Amino acid sequence: MLRSEAVIDCSAISANVETVRTATTAAVMAVVKADGYGHGMLPAARAAVRGGASWLGVAHLDEALALRRAGFTQRTLAWLWTPQEAGALRDALAAGVDVSVSSQGHLDLVVATAAEVGTPARVHLKADTGLSRNGATVADWPELVTAAAKAAATGVIETAGIWSHLARSDEPDEPSNDLQLARFHEALSVAAVLGVAPEVRHLANSAAILTRPDMHFDLVRAGISLYGLSPVPERGQFGLVPAMTLRSHLANVKRVPSGEGVSYGHRYVTAAETTLALVPLGYGDGIPRAAGGAASAGSHGGTVTTGNRGGAASAAPVAIGGRRYPICGRVAMDQFVVDIGDAAAAIGDEVVLFGPGDSGEPLAQDWADALDTIHYEVVTRIGARVPRTYLGDASGAGS
């Protein structure tokens, strides 16, 4: 038995892809960047392909190359790279990886590298429609498309896609979404006039897949929804099933008197005789330091000394023996403490930090609410020191 583990339900990932597929007629790209949002890139990709994803998406070239080495032959797009990665770009193009292009400089490097490799590069031209990160601006877009058309005429590249990314898709009724959609249509019109007809057009991420069918085009990119976390929590779960359960086992349980300070800085002080339970996970494992803290609604009578609470809106919850308790005191590098009052517990008892909620345990969304962040961060930051245990078929070749 492991001290702590992140249990990943691969069947949930497959089912989530199937749920996404019912919401669109477009092809589905499974976004498995950042080690599959902390779930494990290769097992997540295998589960997503089993669920019907026909594309894979990553941020970095080395992620795409890892997928190729693992046997994945699906169309794979990498969208964030720099000129310093010339070797990885060469390998990616040779491996048939699609790459995003946001500027003339990017395009020039891809053209030169493709000529060196001897294989046409599949590029996705990215238009900045309002996120103001990567992508060509409205002013630069015609020049980029014209250059791409000239390169394609020589056979050195193929314009496989035109795409953009939304800034506020988790607010489906926000007017800026409509503005971005209009700008995307304009970018497509400019491309058409200049003779560029991409294989796929893609704009929709998870939130837009589930709330804005007018944004689906030919391909949609399923990221957070793949892992069962709602991209618009205010509108419900959309039938998605959380795939990660983070759990541990108590390393110590002890009775302490009233007035005892707990953890570094003694920000939490017991207000009565109570039982403290020690969980062997900390910020070295990706548990936010700010997750611990003050006595709050549902706590067991602790008080907080004056001082900076580290920005947490409230203490994050855990489940022990079927009951929820807030973390008390500061989270340390390797451990944190829970005040369980007069409840019974023993060394080795299971503690669940978050999971699908089927047994009343906290959700990743509960942690996000407590920390004033998003559930993306909660699951993605769980570190490599926490072993992943996979339920369902996590093995086999990519294709």
pLDDT, tens only, 235-266: 999 999 999 999 999 999 999 999 999 999 99
pLDDT at 197 over 70: yes
pLDDT-derived band at 308 (thresholds 50, 70, 90) equals: very low
Mean per-residue pLDDT, 194-198: 97
| Residue 151: predicted pLDDT | 97
| Residue 62: predicted pLDDT | 98
pLDDT in tens, 59-79: 999 999 999 999 999 999 999
- Considering the entire predicted model, what is its pTM? 0.93
Q: CA-CA distance, 113 to 99, in Å (whole number)?
A: 12
| Residue 134: predicted pLDDT | 96
Q: What percent of the chain has pLDDT over 70?
A: 93
- What does the DSSP 8-state code read for residue 83? G
pLDDT-derived band at 293 (thresholds 50, 70, 90) equals: confident
Q: CA-CA distance, 393 to 43, in Å (whole number)?
A: 8
Amino acid at 355: G
pLDDT-derived band at 301 (thresholds 50, 70, 90) equals: low
- Domains along the chain with CATH numbers: 54-226 (3.20.20.10), 244-391 (2.40.37.10)
Q: CA-CA distance, 302 to 197, in Å (whole number)?
A: 64
Q: Are 55 and 17 in contact (CB under 8 A)?
A: no
The structure tokens listed for 45 are 């990709």
pLDDT-derived band at 393 (thresholds 50, 70, 90) equals: confident
3-state helix, strand, coil in the chain (%, to 5): 35, 25, 45
pLDDT in tens, 138-153: 999 999 999 999 999 9
pLDDT-derived band at 1 (thresholds 50, 70, 90) equals: confident
pLDDT-derived band at 314 (thresholds 50, 70, 90) equals: confident
pLDDT at 174 over 80: yes
Q: Which residues lie below 8 Å from residue 347, measured CB to CB, with a gap of 6+?
A: 250, 251, 252, 253
Side-chain half-sphere of 305: how many Cα atoms within 13 Å?
15
pLDDT at 296 over 50: no
CB atoms within 10 A of CB 239: 16
H/E run at residue 355? none
Q: CA-CA distance, 260 to 124, in Å (whole number)?
A: 60
| Residue 147: predicted pLDDT | 98
The structure tokens listed for 383 are 């570190």
Residues assigned a catalytic role: 33, 264
Full strand arrangement of the beta sheet holding 350-354: 252-256, 274-279, 336-341, 323-328, 317-320, 350-354, 244-249, 4-9, 388-391
Q: CA-CA distance, 44 to 36, in Å (whole number)?
A: 6
Where does 137-248 have alpha helices with state H?
141-153, 175-193, 206-211
pLDDT in tens, 23-71: 999 999 999 999 999 999 999 999 999 999 999 999 999 999 999 999 9
Side-chain half-sphere of 213: how many Cα atoms within 13 Å?
6
- What does the DSSP 8-state code read for residue 35? H
Residue 52's Cβ-count burial label (10 Å; 0-12, 13-18, 19+) is middle
pLDDT at 228 over 90: yes
pLDDT at 312 over 50: no
pLDDT at 179 over 60: yes
pLDDT at 311 over 80: no
| Residue 348: predicted pLDDT | 97
Q: Which residues lie below 8 Å from residue 22, measured CB to CB, with a gap of 6+?
A: none
pLDDT at 136 over 70: yes
Q: CA-CA distance, 190 to 213, in Å (whole number)?
A: 23
pLDDT in tens, 81-97: 999 999 999 999 999 99
